[in-house]
Amino acid sequence: MTAPNPSTNPTGNPATVFTLQRGSAPLLISIPHVGTQIPADIAATMTPVAALTEDCDWHLDRLYAFARGLGASVLMPHNARYVIDVNRPPDGANLYPGQDTTGLLPVDTFDKAPLYQDGKLPDEAEVARRRALYWQPYHDALANELAALKAQHGRVLLWEAHSIRSVVPRFFDGRLPDFNFGTSNGASAVAGLADELRSIVERHGAFTAIANGRFKGGYITRHYGQPEAGIHAVQLELTQCTYMQEQLPFAYDEALAGHVQPLLEALVSTALERVQSA
């Protein structure tokens, strides 16, 4: 079942902000950076590099196609993170104090290329407008779906699906581990879950993994993960070289993805079992 959210843009025309596919299991997979659209009024203020949406979490809807078979609900925005980053706090606070990060409204790419034309950076009024039009509806849908699943099942797993280039010098030195699990240092999910998932990857043998390393979970994981209230949140930041071409044209690689998908499904299934038995 797909439940698009009708919002209204400044011209009064309907705009689809997100897609929610509702499932039957106590599992919600949120893919907050998979969108690639940029509304025309915003695109008119941006540089040509913005149109590439190169910092998108490419093809995760395809990589997580097994989710429907697990009975998962799946939530995805249509707009690119360059429009507004729904995995950042609404006040724009830095989730990693002292470290370089991109914000609620990114002004440059991961490689520090400017996203906006000279003199056209969004002001506070524009930030507020986008937060109301694009950020808030995604979070309303997320909160409502978690509440519905919790009411039905008692406990819920929120799986935050992300991906990133394996080498991004702006944010970290060297090459990232392939599987980066984050549970806000254990605060957002049942105790030991991130380390258990890391161990599964290590036993598999083909990929590297870490728990609560450079990526401990973004705003969604930290805000909604409340294990004491029955909502357990895990973020997985997956290196893109495990399933796709990391440079233009950012092509999906069927052969690579065929190796990582069964492991991904096993990880999500294991996390769900742990949450249900918590």
pLDDT one-digit tens code per residue, 47-61: 999 999 999 999 999
Question: Residue 277 burial by CB count (10 A; 0-12/13-18/19+): exposed, middle or buried?
Answer: exposed
| Residues 15, 5 contacting (CB under 8 angstroms) | no
* Residue 30 to residue 141: CA distance in whole angstroms: 10
pLDDT digits (tens, 9 = 90+) for 161-217: 999 999 999 999 999 999 999 999 999 999 999 999 999 999 999 999 999 998 999
pLDDT score recorded for residue 5: 36
* Residue 117 to residue 10: CA distance in whole angstroms: 21
- Return the CA Rg of the chain: 18
pTM, rounded to two decimals: 0.92
Residue extents of the structural domains in the chain: 6-276
pLDDT score recorded for residue 278: 83
Domain 6-276 has CATH 3.40.50.620: no
**What's at 216, amino acid-wise?**
K
Q: Please identify every stretch of the chain with a pLDDT value under 50, giving residue numbers as ranges.
A: 1-14
pLDDT score recorded for residue 97: 79
* Residue 173 to residue 181: CA distance in whole angstroms: 18
Give the distance, in angstroms, between the CA of residue 13 and the centroid of all CA atoms in the same chain.
27
C-alpha distances out from residue 155 to 43, 89, 115, 135, 266, Å: 41, 24, 41, 25, 19
